[in-house]
Amino acid sequence: LSASCSGCGPGYRSPLDAMKGPREEIVYLPCIYRNTNTLKPDYLATVDVDPKSSTYCQVIHRLPMPNLCDELHHSGWNACSSCFGDASRKRNRLILPSLISSRIYVVDVETNPRAPQIHKIVEPVDLFWKCGLANPHTTHCLGNGQVMISCLGDPSGNGKGGFVLLDGQTFDVVGNWEHPGEAAPFGYDFWYQPQHNVMISTEWGAPKALANGFDPADVAGGHYGSCLHVWNWDTHRKLQTIDLGKDGGIPLEVRFLHDPSATEGYVGCALSGSVFRFYKTLEGDWAAESVISIPSKKVEGWTLPEMPGESVCLTTQLTAHLSDWVPVCTLAGLITDILISLDDRFLYFSNWLHGDIRQYDITDRRKPRLVGQLFLGGSIVSDGPVKVLQDREKQPDPRIIQGRRVPGGPQMLQLSLDGLRLYVTTSLYSGWDKQFYPDMIKEGSVMMQIDVDSVNGGLSLNENFLVDFGKEPDGPVLAHEVRYPGGDCTSDIWL
């Protein structure tokens, strides 16, 4: 799935052309063993998603990494639609950063797409010595042939939002994209829009704070971010920092509209349960406004003192029996993934802790309209220990597919090119999985498929689709982000 016309480069001429691309037949997912009961290397799984295939919904290949405890995370490509005009380029290498070990694996997906093999390994010392960076996260290919990867920190585990450049042919580390001394305090995701000479990056937290779990004291201590950073794409200079404030805690996934002429996009803020719209002002700088807010839920029966919430702390409430104190906390939705359909009509995001996926019509960019919602697990299921207090939404029943109870909550999302199928996995990051969904550590994660009404809006679960990563040969594993060999709406950028 390389080109939509003869003689052109990888991907598609435009987002709307991409929507006419072929249906996905296989997908790639990183599978993580760190923090589980299995001491084995992470691996890249190839899953058959072709309903006409005899191996539908099965893992058909596993590519183990040669090291332990890498924590494979968000993958990307050596070339995508940003290279469409270059007939010499091919989308034939998948770039797999390791969030904890700081290795970068380059995987050959061309020789045998159904059975990828390791092409090259970039060792952590190359990132440490050449760039002063560590904990690589998001990968995007660039139109000039290079590959760019955002990083969370420095080699000592402190926050440092810089960017590593790889040569697109040799995959050697070239150096930093940003200028010396201009790295952001924290790093996470990024998206660039060359027509407007801009890139915007987001913040998670300091690696040494988040490595083994979430502690609300680290938020108060300044170890988590709340800012967007605006960069000049041509000069690599940081132009502006937009502090989203208390309503913008931990801004994670950032998405410009796919239309390359657009001057706006959205970012999901995990801790505050909000979505901000960012945009270019008439004066030429950039601003942001909150356009969606998911109220935290007051709950009792939550057993983890580290539960993130509206006030990032636990409070207590006096019951009718004055001698009894009932622990009460505010349970944030924890927006962890967000994406936009290729026609820029719908916005989707996951509330990992509340357990629902939401679909918004964003035809009116400033006033998103909720048109679809579906609960798939989460922390507030009706048969669990947590009781929701004073909430208009009924506590959802646990979700069971083909006899398998969905563990954890909906997390990573990937939309089909035509916008009709939404793939969902339940693992966020092994250190937080272990803390908030310990059963998923023992049982493994799952991959589900949601049928999407792309005309009127609406979400419904495909009961015939389930990939159960609790049944893997070496034991239950945590499957993360979904990638299509031909590109998708979270990996391709148009110029």
pLDDT at 301: 87
Going 35 to 40 to 45 to 48, the CA torsion angle's sign is negative
* Integer CA distances (angstroms), 36 to 212, 245, 377, 404, in order: 12, 35, 20, 19
According to DSSP, the residues that pair with 318 across neighbouring strands are 325
pLDDT at 303: 67
What is 15-311+326-479's CATH topology?
Answer: Methylamine Dehydrogenase; Chain H (2.130.10)
Query: Of 81, 95, 110, 88, nearest to 21 (Cα)?
Result: 81
Please enumerate in sequence order all residues whose Cβ is within 8 A of that of 58, keeping only pairs 6 or more positions apart, or say none.
47, 48, 467
| Per-domain boundaries in the chain | 15-311+326-479
pLDDT at 327: 62
pTM of full prediction above 0.85: yes
**If DSSP states are collapsed to H, E and C, what string results for 231-288?**
EECCCCCEEEEEECHHHHCCEEEEEECCCCCCCEEEEEECCCCEEEEEEECCCCCEEE
pLDDT at 362: 98
The residue with tokens 């290498």 is 93
User: Are 340 and 262 in contact, with CB atoms under 8 Å apart?
Assistant: no
Write out pLDDT tens, residues 242-290: 999 999 999 999 999 999 999 999 999 999 999 999 999 999 999 999 9
Residue 492 pLDDT exceeds 80: yes
The alpha-carbon radius of gyration of the chain (Å, integer) is 21
Write out pLDDT tens, residues 404-413: 999 999 999 9
Q: Give percent of the chain above pLDDT 90.
A: 88
User: Are 162 and 151 in contact, with CB atoms under 8 Å apart?
Assistant: yes
- Grade residue 305 by pLDDT with cuts at 50, 70 and 90: very low
User: What is the mean pLDDT of the segment spanning 169-186?
Assistant: 98
Residue 130 φ then ψ, to 5°: -85, -25
Write out pLDDT tens, residues 13-29: 999 999 999 999 999 99
CA pair distance 467, 59, nearest whole angstrom? 8
What's the length of the chain? 495
Residue 73 pLDDT exceeds 80: yes
Write out pLDDT tens, residues 348-369: 999 999 999 999 999 999 999 9
483 residue type, one letter: R
CA pair distance 447, 262, nearest whole angstrom? 32
Query: Of 374, 381, 468, 377, nearest to 422 (Cα)?
Result: 374
| Distant-in-sequence contacts of 106-110, Cβ < 8 A, 24+ apart | 106/78, 106/171, 107/44, 107/63, 109/28, 109/485
pLDDT at 81: 93
Residue 309 pLDDT exceeds 60: no
CA pair distance 465, 447, nearest whole angstrom? 8
Query: Of 327, 306, 347, 84, nearest to 212 (Cα)?
Result: 306
* Integer CA distances (angstroms), 95 to 76, 92, 233, 323, in order: 5, 10, 22, 58
Residue 343 pLDDT exceeds 90: yes
- Which alpha helices (H) appear in 326-437, and where do they start and end? 430-436
pLDDT at 22: 95
Lowest mean pLDDT among 55-69, 98-112, 300-314, 420-434: 300-314
CA pair distance 49, 43, nearest whole angstrom? 19
User: E strands of 332-368, at which residues?
Assistant: 335-340, 346-351, 356-361
Query: Of 437, 296, 411, nearest to 352 (Cα)?
Result: 411
Query: Of 68, 69, 1, 60, nearest to 28 (Cα)?
Result: 60
CA pair distance 130, 482, nearest whole angstrom? 30
Query: Of 421, 431, 424, 430, nearest to 482 (Cα)?
Result: 424
User: What is the mean pLDDT of the segment spanning 47-70?
Assistant: 98
User: What is the mean pLDDT of the segment spanning 171-188?
Assistant: 98
The residue with tokens 């690696």 is 207
Run of H or E residues at 210: helix 207-210
- Grade residue 85 by pLDDT with cuts at 50, 70 and 90: confident
CA pair distance 189, 117, nearest whole angstrom? 26
Lowest mean pLDDT among 335-344, 383-392, 406-415, 473-482: 383-392
Write out pLDDT tens, residues 181-196: 999 999 999 999 999 9
Residue 3 pLDDT exceeds 90: no
